[in-house]
């Protein structure tokens, strides 16, 4: 019993450390650039924080999470600074989650663990309160001798400087590991659409001026079935002028995303096996845009499909809040017949898309 009581404080510290490490790493999943931009747009900018500030705040927050993961295991002002500071941070996160539930309801992914582990705001709040409870329990199960020993191992200025150095190292690591990139340069301030020369359907090209709100597309698709629906505006016509004409496949991809590449490869294979396959349009995120030629080569379509490249904010705004890549939308006269997104339960399924396409013949 005595041994269990002696080990309990370390058990709590290991659990909290693991939680913060996982939270920081998950925000960089599946790739650091992609994960952090999703975190910036869907969580930080959703609070009304400007894009220019969010790129700094995201790296600072994730860096602090890394630092807490280390500091909770080290004897640097553990009781005086680290644990109270950790509880305060968790309470601030809960305040943000309450605001999110009041404004958007308890739906979607809160982003605490990025797209690696999806949690609703309420689930995240419960997780944070459990963590706070464990930290409070730590005070009761830690003997005075243990805490006194940690306080006297390294004292005064050295403890304070080490605590500061670990926190600073975590933040600087994030700025070096995921450096802030310059915005996409475009012609005349607009995004350029690159047209597949073999695509005769596209008569004219429109440039993107501002993102469309597509947040309701999944929840209320129109006229699924084999009866041709009446033409409507999909919200994507400012990107591709012909998107609402007949049947189209609209894709949202990040060039360096492995899941996006596999989805594109499946679409190319499906295109080769099906007659009258809808024309494909692609919106690429401006992350590793130099990899687009290699993206098409991997997919098996070296000449590529008609596509455009958007900066991060435009991309996420067009795809829709709380949605993720790869995104694949099947449109018929502007009506959404199928919408696949992310790598979880709504992920792209070539077999399922084939069934929908066959049904709408």
% of residues, the chain, pLDDT over 70: 83
- Is it the case that residue 31 has pLDDT exceeding 90? no
| Whole-angstrom distance, CA of residue 164 vs CA of residue 170 | 10
Answer CATH for 193-359 from 3.40.30.10, 3.40.50.10310, 3.30.70.20, 3.40.50.300: 3.40.30.10
pLDDT of residue 75: 84
pLDDT of residue 45: 85
% of residues, the chain, pLDDT over 90: 51
Total-model pTM: 0.74
pLDDT of residue 266: 96
pLDDT of residue 78: 87
C-beta separation of 233 from 324 below 8 A: no
Angle at which helices 121-141 and 2-26 cross, to 10°: 150
- Is it the case that residue 188 has pLDDT exceeding 50? no
Q: Quick one: average pLDDT of 272-276?
A: 90
pLDDT of residue 312: 80
- Is it the case that residue 281 has pLDDT exceeding 80? yes
Q: Quick one: average pLDDT of 318-330?
A: 88
pLDDT of residue 142: 77
pLDDT, mean over the chain: 84
Angle at which helices 32-39 and 312-319 cross, to 10°: 70
Query: Could you report the per-residue pLDDT of 41-73, keeping only the tens digit for each?
Result: 888 888 888 888 999 999 999 999 999 999 999
- Is it the case that residue 348 has pLDDT exceeding 90? yes
pLDDT of residue 205: 41
What is the 3-state secondary structure of the chain?
CHHHHHHHHHHHHHHHHHHHHHHHHHCCCCCHHHHHHHHHHHHHHHHCCCHHHHHHHHHHHHHHHHHHHHHCCCCCCHHHHHHHHHHHHHHHHHHHHHHHHHHHCCCCCCCCCCCCCCCCHHHHHHHHHHHHHHHHHHHHHCCHHHHHHHHHHCCHHHHHHHHHHHHHHHHHHHHHHCCCCCCCCCECCECCEECCCCCCCCCCCCCCCCCCCCCCCCCCCCCCCCCCCCCCCCCCCCCCCCCCCCEEEEEEECCCCHHHHHHHHHHHHHHHHCCCCCEEEEEEECCCHHHHHHHHHHHCCCCCCEEEEECHHHHHHHHCCCCCCCEEEEEECCEEEEEECCCCCCCCCHHHHHHHHHHCC
- Per-residue b or e along 110-120, where b marks 16 or more CB atoms closer than 10 Å to that residue's CB: bbbbbbbebbb
Bridge-partner residues for 310, per DSSP? 285
- Is it the case that residue 356 has pLDDT exceeding 90? yes
Q: Quick one: average pLDDT of 19-30?
A: 93
Query: Could you report the per-residue pLDDT of 122-181, keeping only the tens digit for each?
Result: 999 999 999 999 999 988 887 655 555 455 555 667 788 888 999 999 999 999 999 987
- The DSSP bridge pattern shows strands 306-310 and 279-285 to be parallel
pLDDT of residue 209: 40
Q: Quick one: average pLDDT of 80-99?
A: 92
Map out the domains of the chain as residue ranges: 2-177, 193-359
Query: Could you report the per-residue pLDDT of 203-252, keeping only the tens digit for each?
Result: 444 444 444 444 334 333 444 556 889 999 999 999 999 999 999 999 99
């Amino acid at each position: 019993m005595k041994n269990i009581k002696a080990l309990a404080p370390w058990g709590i510290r290991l659990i909290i450390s693991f939680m913060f490490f996982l939270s920081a790493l998950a925000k960089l999943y599946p790739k650091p650039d992609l994960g952090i931009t999703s975190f910036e747009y869907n969580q930080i900018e959703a609070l009304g924080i400007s894009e220019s500030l969010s790129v700094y705040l995201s790296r600072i927050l994730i860096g602090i999470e890394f630092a807490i993961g280390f500091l909770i295991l080290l004897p640097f002002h553990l009781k005086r600074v680290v644990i109270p500071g950790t509880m305060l941070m968790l309470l601030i996160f809960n305040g943000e989650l309450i605001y999110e539930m009041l404004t958007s309801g308890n739906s979607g992914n809160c982003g605490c663990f990025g797209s690696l582990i999806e949690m609703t705001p309420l689930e995240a709040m419960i997780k944070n309160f459990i963590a706070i409870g464990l930290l409070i329990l730590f005070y009761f199960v830690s003997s005075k001798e243990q805490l006194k020993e940690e306080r006297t191992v390294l004292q005064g200025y050295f403890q304070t400087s080490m605590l500061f150095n670990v926190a600073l190292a975590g933040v600087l690591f994030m700025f070096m590991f995921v450096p802030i990139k310059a915005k996409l340069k475009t012609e005349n301030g607009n995004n350029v659409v690159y047209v597949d020369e073999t695509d005769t359907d596209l008569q004219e090209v429109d440039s993107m001026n501002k993102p469309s709100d597509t947040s309701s597309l999944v929840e209320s698709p129109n006229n699924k079935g084999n009866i041709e629906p009446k033409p409507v505006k999909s919200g994507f016509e400012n990107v591709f002028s012909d998107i609402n004409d007949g049947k189209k496949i609209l894709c949202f991809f990040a060039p360096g995303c492995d899941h996006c590449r596999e989805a594109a490869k499946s679409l190319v294979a499906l295109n080769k096996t099906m007659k009258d396959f809808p024309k494909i349009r692609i919106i690429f995120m401006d992350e590793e845009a130099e990899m687009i030629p290699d993206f098409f080569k991997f997919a098996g379509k070296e000449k590529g499909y008609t596509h455009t490249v958007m900066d991060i904010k435009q991309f996420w705004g067009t795809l829709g809040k709380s949605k993720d890549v790869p995104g694949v939308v099947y449109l018929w006269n502007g009506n959404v017949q199928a919408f696949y997104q992310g790598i979880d339960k709504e992920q792209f399924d070539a077999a399922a898309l084939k069934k929908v396409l066959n049904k709408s013949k």
